[in-house]
Amino acid sequence: MVGVKPNGSVKIAILGAGALGHAWSKVVDADPGARLAAIIDPLVGTEAAPAWIDEHPDVPRARSLGELGLVSLDAAVVTAFSPAHADAIRAALEHGLHVIVEKPFTTSLDDAHALVELAARRGLTLMVSQNYRHFPGVATLRNLVAGERFGRIRSVAGAFSYDWAGKPYQHRMQHVMGLEMAVHHFDLVRALFDADPVTGFVREWNSEGSQYAGGGGLEALFEMASPRDAFPFVYSGSLIGKAPPTPWGGNWRFEFDQATLIVDTIDGRYGIYQAHAKGHDWIAPFADEIRFDGAFSHFLASLAAGREPWSSGRDNLGTLRMALGFLVGTDARRRAA
């Protein structure tokens, strides 16, 4: 894997100048180890071009990397719409750029495998920004697991519900809950326990009148395994549920040998609690505001060291497989291919 020399700023191109691209431009600007060096979006040069790019009058911009010309770049942040991820990643890798891409990695397992292979052939870093891995509570829980503070993990249950209006491109997507939201939570369980699914069952559903083409909600059951543990993971997620919304980080129940830990909001405070017959004891906060700087800092550190990121494209194949590889029903299996 080719590293980026740590002396000097890593020159970054943003591929996709929507609202997410704007948010990432601020992350790049705030990091002393990086510099925004190009903005790529099909709408550049049109009346529909995003207004925020004018905040960077000295940054070269183009409709594609091929049109950019002789601009020196080291890496790309892919913030295009989810269905465009595969093409944008491929273009960046073919231009010799390291890549960090917003989740979901791609909307197809075949595309994801092909891109991992392409990055490996080119000796380039490919990372998926699974930013929930950088929640403060994840480090707390991983330490408890590694130290077997409460024994071994025996069962995990997660739930997420939010009546999300969705973006126009999301309305046209299949597997929208799985790809746009559940990948966060599936990836959290993989990261917390260094585990992967052995078997799985994912059943998508949609309500009548849903704004989504398919998969606005899902129910899932996985048998997870790590070198140390094997445990069931049950999950319920919905972007069309009418119940009060959960936090973006989700609500959780972790059954260990000697304790039950939950992640929930109690007395207005969202965090990790030890549950017992008399109530709940606070352990630590679980999530802060949704941020991208932790993932970006990890990406830059991985480039400097020439090492594979924690949530590399190769690693993220396990997360994407949970969203797409265990779908039940003929139509669901066909769409996931």
Across the range 204-230, mean pLDDT stands at: 95
Closest among 173, 89, 69 to 129, alpha carbons compared: 89
328 domain residue, yes or no? no
**Long-range own/partner contacts, residues 264-272 (CB < 8 A, 24 or more apart):** 271/137, 272/137, 272/140, 272/141
CB burial of residue 152 (10 Å; 0-12, 13-18, 19+): middle
Q: Which residue has the higher pLDDT, 267 or 7?
A: 267
Judge whether residue 237 has pLDDT over 80.
yes
In a shared domain, residues 141 and 272: yes
Mapping DSSP onto H, E and C, the string for the chain reads: CCCCCCCCCEEEEEECCCHHHHHHHHHHHHCCCEEEEEEECCCCCCCCCCHHHHHCCCCCEECCHHHCCCCCCCEEEECCCHHHHHHHHHHHHHCCCEEEEECCCCCCHHHHHHHHHHHHHHCCCEEEECHHHHCHHHHHHHHHHHCCECECEEEEEEEEECCCCCCHHHHCCCCHHHHHHHHHHHHHHHHHHCCEEEEEEEEEECCCCCCCCCCCEEEEEEEEECCCCEEEEEEEEECCCCCCCCCCCCEEEEEECCCEEEEEEECCEEEEEEEECCEEEEEEECCCCCCCHHHHHHHHHHHHHCCCCCCEHHHHHHHHHHHHCCECCHHHHHHHC
Q: pLDDT band at residue 171, thresholds of 50, 70 and 90?
A: very high
In a shared domain, residues 52 and 121: yes
Tell me the two tokens of residue 250.
Answer: 């989700």
230 domain residue, yes or no? yes
Q: Residues 307-321: pLDDT tens digits?
A: 999 999 999 999 999
Q: Which residues pair with 11 in a beta bridge?
A: 35
Across the range 276-280, mean pLDDT stands at: 93
CB burial of residue 223 (10 Å; 0-12, 13-18, 19+): middle
In a shared domain, residues 196 and 275: yes
Across the range 156-184, mean pLDDT stands at: 97
Judge whether residue 104 has pLDDT over 80.
yes
Structural contact between residues 153 and 233, judged by C-beta atoms closer than 8 angstroms:
no
Structural contact between residues 81 and 108, judged by C-beta atoms closer than 8 angstroms:
no
Domain residue limits at 117: 10-131+292-312
* Region at 116 (left for phi over 0; alpha for psi -120 to 50; beta for the rest): alpha
Closest among 328, 334, 297 to 28, alpha carbons compared: 297
In a shared domain, residues 80 and 163: no
In a shared domain, residues 82 and 144: no
Domain harbouring 251, CATH code: 3.30.360.10
In a shared domain, residues 149 and 260: yes
**Which of these three, 270, 287, 304, is where a domain ends?**
287
Judge whether residue 78 has pLDDT over 60.
yes
Average pLDDT, the chain: 94
Tell me the two tokens of residue 108.
Answer: 């197809």
Residue 5's pLDDT is 55
Closest among 66, 14, 62 to 37, alpha carbons compared: 14
235 domain residue, yes or no? yes
Q: Residues 127-142: pLDDT tens digits?
A: 999 999 999 999 999 9
Residue 335's pLDDT is 44
Tell me the two tokens of residue 120.
Answer: 């490996």
Closest among 287, 41, 82, 112 to 173, alpha carbons compared: 82
Q: Residues 285-301: pLDDT tens digits?
A: 999 778 899 999 999 99
Residue 7's pLDDT is 59
319 domain residue, yes or no? no
Domain harbouring 61, CATH code: 3.40.50.720
258 domain residue, yes or no? yes
In a shared domain, residues 146 and 71: no
In the chain, how many domains are there?
Answer: 2
In a shared domain, residues 307 and 267: no
Residue 1's pLDDT is 54
